[in-house]
Amino acid sequence: MAVDHGGWKAAPQAQPSLGLSGLLSPFDALDFKREFWEKKPLVIHRDDPDYYADPLTFRDVDHILSTSSVRSSELKVVVNGQEIPLVEMAASGPGGPSNGLEVLYDLYRKGSTVVFKFLHERWEPLGRLCRKLSGEFSAGFQANAYLTPAGAQGLTSHYDTHDVFVLQVWGSKRWRLYESPDVLPLQNRHYRRPADGPGAPVREFDLKAGDLMYMPRGTVHDATSNEEASLHITLGVLPVLWSTVLKDALDQAIESDPRYRRSLPPGFALDPGLREEAAAALAGLLTSVATAVQPADLVERAASRALVGRQPVLDGHLLDLEGLRTMGPDTQVRRRAELLWSLSHDGSGLSLEFHGKVVRLPARIEPELRYLLAAETAFTARQVTGALDVEGRLVLVRRLVQEGLLTLV
């Protein structure tokens, strides 16, 4: 399979958003990747309380609370160190779920932390930030927010199974980091807190509004708010791991070669000679895996996996679908802002990958397709260059509006 040499492409953004450089400033992003990523925590202190006001403010959270559905499992409260969906707490309270907001505030006044899960899916500035970082990292990003009243602790000491950026938005928190028993734990690994606690902190510090902390997955931590309420965002990073790529290689070998689907020798468990024979056979199979798979193909599959979980950029798409009925060759369209795409071709045609799907197109329209993929401003079907006549160009443009790659202006 031949792949566009540019790999995944990013469309221009409709408006600026914090990227990794802005997130870490004044710390250098390249130094971060070399020295800290998956290695050790990084703390950045700033004397700029409004540094992260673009993605979220304290007032924004007040608005989100007043307009949130308490029936959503994504709104939680921390009680005795554990996250519990608000809907469960409200269901047993006076008035049932309809009185959920009062239940939430009653718990908050008593010291409970309010947790907003997957807030990037409901708050566009956070969604824009996650999409920007996702493109830079080739990884999924998700945003949670944690609102803790003054002088309270949220979750008990624990670690996350994904890397985390903590953005302090309001107030301050006292953070404690501890020795970790696990290095880069996988998602199915959970922290087993010792009966006598996590031990003495190896690092303790305050994060104030505008400050940032990065923690590799597996960093044991807890935090307590100081004299005022604390609001922070956690950006969770979901990268493609080498373990996933290696599992893909093994799955590919198992699917294509019946040798990997055969049983071990009958009776091997009780026969030392058969166990030696099985060990030799396994060594041969492992060698065969290394020669049977194509590393470049596995990396391409990893690239697709990295982008498939990215939140689609589909604002206005419902209007676009209605507008298709009256769309003509002089209707202006544009490529969606922040869209990531990849174009590849093989003997059967073109594969245009975006939004976690693949759109198949004939190879003969590659010039027209590359025109609209490269366009950084609005254009019409009539303006698309290539061998297709105007009607053919309109068919192509309509198809890509329908699929969500283009949008009407």
- The reply to whether domains 9-239 and 317-408 share a CATH topology is no
DSSP letter at 152 equals -
**Residue listed under structure tokens 């006044």:** 109
Distance linking the first and last C-alpha atoms of the chain: 35
pLDDT band (50, 70, 90) for residue 257: very high
Model pLDDT, residue 93: 65
Full-model pTM: 0.86
pLDDT of 292-314, one tens digit each? 888 998 998 898 888 776 778 89
Within 10 angstroms of residue 202's Cβ, the number of other Cβ atoms is 14
Q: Give the whole-number percent of the chain exceeding pLDDT 70.
A: 94
List all residues 6 or more positions away from 132 whose beta carbon is below 8 Å from its beta carbon: 13, 17, 18, 19, 338
Work out the angle at residue 339's Cα, subtended by the Cα atoms of residues 338 and 344, and round it to the nearest 5 degrees: 145
Q: Coil, helix or strand for 6?
A: coil
Is residue 12 over pLDDT 60?
no
CA distances from 317 to 314, 342, 394, 405 (A): 5, 21, 18, 10
pLDDT band (50, 70, 90) for residue 6: very low
Model pLDDT, residue 18: 84
Is residue 13 over pLDDT 50?
no
DSSP class per residue in 169-226: EESEEEEEEE--SSSS--TT------TT-S-S-SEEEEEETT-EEEE-TT-EEEEEE-
Residue spans of the domains in the chain: they are 9-239, 242-306, 317-408
How far apart, in whole angstroms, are the C-alpha atoms of residue 358 and residue 341?
10
| Interval 111-130 mean pLDDT | 95
| Interval 12-29 mean pLDDT | 78
**Residue listed under structure tokens 């040499």:** 5
| Interval 351-361 mean pLDDT | 92
What b-and-e string marks burial along 225-247, b requiring 16 or more CB atoms within 10 Å of the CB?
A: bbeebbbbbbbbbbbbeeeebee
Model pLDDT, residue 309: 66
List all residues 6 or more positions away from 250 whose beta carbon is below 8 Å from its beta carbon: 260, 289
Give domain 9-239's CATH number out of 3.30.565.10, 2.60.120.650, 3.40.50.261, 3.20.20.210: 2.60.120.650
Q: How far is CA 306 from the centre of its chain?
A: 9
Written as one letter, the residue type at 187 is Q
pLDDT band (50, 70, 90) for residue 39: very high
Q: Coil, helix or strand for 76?
A: strand
pLDDT band (50, 70, 90) for residue 169: very high
Model pLDDT, residue 17: 60
Is residue 69 over pLDDT 80?
no
pLDDT of 188-209, one tens digit each? 998 988 888 899 999 999 999 9
Is residue 5 over pLDDT 50?
no
Residue 60 φ/ψ, nearest 5 degrees: -60, -45
Q: Coil, helix or strand for 83?
A: strand
Is residue 121 over pLDDT 60?
yes
Which pair of tokens denotes residue 357?
A: 């799907």
Q: How high is the mean pLDDT of the chain?
A: 91
Q: Coil, helix or strand for 141?
A: strand
Is residue 228 over pLDDT 90?
yes
Is residue 3 over pLDDT 50?
no
- Among 13-27, 37-51, 316-330, the minimum mean pLDDT is found in 13-27
Q: Which of 315, 321, 322 is nearest to 400 (CA)?
A: 321
pLDDT of 73-102, one tens digit each? 889 999 988 899 998 888 776 666 678 888
Is residue 128 over pLDDT 70?
yes
How far apart, in whole angstroms, are the C-alpha atoms of residue 373 and residue 83?
44
The answer, yes or no, to whether the previous bond of 26 is cis (omega within 30 of 0) is yes
Strand partners, 346: 349
CATH code, 317-408? 3.90.930.40
